[in-house]
Amino acid sequence: MEESDFEGTLVLEKLAEIGKIDDFFEAIDSDDFQRAKSLMKRAGVDAETIALVLQKMNAADGEH
């Protein structure tokens, strides 16, 4: 998964509001699902969107 997968999304907007975009992408790069989930929750991302992002992370595992 790359940053372009999220460009213009509500996820990035909310993460930007709390200053955690870089942390989020570090979590994705290291396949740290729990950290990514935690950051999205802190940013106020809804549960359905979090689940979709985690599914994309899982599907992309090993492809980055």
Q: Read out DSSP for 4-64?
A: GGTTT-HHHHHHHHTT-HHHHHHHHHTT-HHHHHHHHHHHT--HHHHHHHHHHHHHHTT--
Structural domain count, the chain: 1
Residue 36 scores a pLDDT above 90: yes
Q: What pLDDT, on a 0 to 100 scale, did the predictor assign at position 56? A: 87
Residue 42 scores a pLDDT above 90: yes
**Two tokens, residue 7:** 């460009």
Give tens-digit pLDDT for 3-24. Answer: 545 555 789 999 999 999 999 9
Q: What pLDDT, on a 0 to 100 scale, did the predictor assign at position 8? A: 55
**Burial class (CB within 10 angstroms; exposed 0-12, middle 13-18, buried 19+) of 43:** buried
Nearest to 53 by CA among 62, 39, 64: 39
- Determine the structural domain holding residue 20 and report its residue range: 3-60
